[in-house]
Chains A and B, each alone.
Chain A
Amino acid sequence: MCVAVPGKIIEINGDFAKVNIMNNITQVNIRLVSANVGDYVLIHAGCVLEVMKKDAAEELLEIFSALEEAADDDASAS
């Protein structure tokens, strides 16, 4: 039930926005966030829950980079 999908905002009209979800265009409510056209957003049950801060690839690069730093810290501490 907590399933959410990412989409891109292509148009904003008041509390609503048109979003592109894998080439499907649909309307969602944006009352829970401050969003702009072009933002990637997380959508659940017809509502935007959050504006995505970065894409998955960028996030994963940062995660693995942070894990490496942590591993280096552990190695130098031991």
Chain B
Amino acid sequence: MTLQQVKDELLHYDGKPVKIMEVCGTHTASIFKNGIRSLLSPKIQLISGPGCPVCVTAPAYIDRLVEFALQEKCCVLTFGDMMKVKGNRMSLTEAKAVGGKVRILYSPLAALQIATEDRDTQYVFAAVGFETTTPIYALMLEEILKNNIQNLKLMTSIKTIIPALSYICENEKEIDAFLCPGHVSVITGSAVYEELAKKFQKPFVVSGFEGEHILAAVYEIIKQISNHRPGVKNMYASAVTEEGNQKAVALIQKYFEEADDYWRGIGKIEDSAMKLKTEYRKYDLGSSFEEVEEHLPKGCRCTDVILGRINPVECPLFQKVCSPFNAVGPCMVSTEGACGIWYKNCG
């Protein structure tokens, strides 16, 4: 089958309306970059999901980081996309502006050298992310233990995607199929979606990030729905296996265990976090898994965006009072957030 034949079928599809959730922000960005929506029939709708860990991190977590950054001889180490996320009081960028110590790193592993070279400062890494990043935090902890580094700890807000997808399947009946997150699946493997596909009778297709990858995956989803044969299909076999990266999974299981956690805009989802095991808890600095009461700003519809009920342009604040320069809701903050990506591409 040629790419042109796939494009023709998708453009002229006239079956039942299908709503496909792309879980990962990198897929959302690629869908825009490749003009995928313009190649699909109006009966095929692509909608973003909860795949931006920064966007679903609780404001109370940011508050704890800010508080730490403002203490004497303390420093927060973080990925750059956490900097602008607002807590209840301020963001890390604002904390830095008033004298707080915050450093942006590309890799958690770079924190090891920083902490070793400055033993008088207590460092904490803002360990945020999904399964893609969790094994790197495990590697970091392993090096902390091996080298007896006392002044570097983790504050975790690590989420797992399967409980979130299960939550969406249970509560958002209009989502017909899922474009599974490619890089999360590199670690977890494609088999983790089998139970969901069977239970909810929906297609779960793992896709790469090229435009052709995404078109082929959407075509596969449409075929599965048309043939009433929903299931799991791995269409990113260059990087994703059925069983995933077992070395990485073993490392995660060595240091982390499941916990209930709060997702900004959604609420508590059972077993949706990874926290340090009890024996390693002394390397945890201030993580909290208590349910947090939170109210999104008035008018903000980030909850509806994260759960795939609306596209960002349907939010009354989008592009009016909410922009990356003055983000009202969490989905506008990160480069991986649905609203941020839509803003960049619909401006």
Partners in one complex: yes
Q: Which A residues form the contact surface with B (CB < 8 A)?
A: 1-4, 29, 31-33, 42, 44-47, 49-50, 52-56, 58-60, 62-65, 67-68, 70-71, 74
Q: Is the CB of B183 within 8 A of A63?
A: no
* Measured CA separation A60–B94 after assembly (Å): 45
Q: Scan residues 167-225 of chain B and give those whose CB is less than 8 A from a CB of chain A.
A: 181, 183-184, 186-187, 208, 210, 212-213, 216, 219-220, 223
Q: Is the CB of A53 within 8 A of B238?
A: yes
Count residues of chain B with CB under 8 A from any CB of chain A: 52
* Measured CA separation A29–B142 after assembly (Å): 13
Interface string of B129-147 (1 = CB under 8 A from A): 1101101100100000000
* Measured CA separation A70–B220 after assembly (Å): 10
* Measured CA separation A55–B186 after assembly (Å): 16
* Measured CA separation A45–B236 after assembly (Å): 20
Q: Is the CB of A46 within 8 A of B108?
A: yes
**Does B300 touch A at the CB level, under 8 Å?**
no
* Measured CA separation A69–B108 after assembly (Å): 44
Q: Given known contacts A2-B184, A45-B79, what 14 new A-B pairs fall within 8 Å (CB)?
A: A1-B79, A1-B129, A1-B336, A2-B53, A2-B181, A29-B107, A29-B139, A32-B247, A44-B133, A45-B109, A46-B136, A49-B186, A59-B236, A67-B223
Chain A residues near B132: list those with CB within 8 A. Answer: 1-2, 4, 44, 49
Chain B residues near A74: list those with CB within 8 A. Answer: 223, 227
Q: Is the CB of A54 within 8 A of B220?
A: no
Which single residue of chain A is at the shortest CB-CB distance from B131? A2
Chain B residues near A50: list those with CB within 8 A. Answer: 186, 239-240, 245
Query: Chain B's nearest CB lies how many Å from the CB of A60?
Result: 5
Question: What are 20 contact pairs spanning A and B, CB under 8 A?
Answer: A1-B53, A1-B54, A1-B129, A2-B26, A2-B129, A2-B130, A2-B183, A2-B336, A45-B109, A47-B135, A49-B187, A49-B248, A50-B240, A50-B245, A52-B238, A54-B238, A63-B235, A64-B216, A67-B220, A70-B223
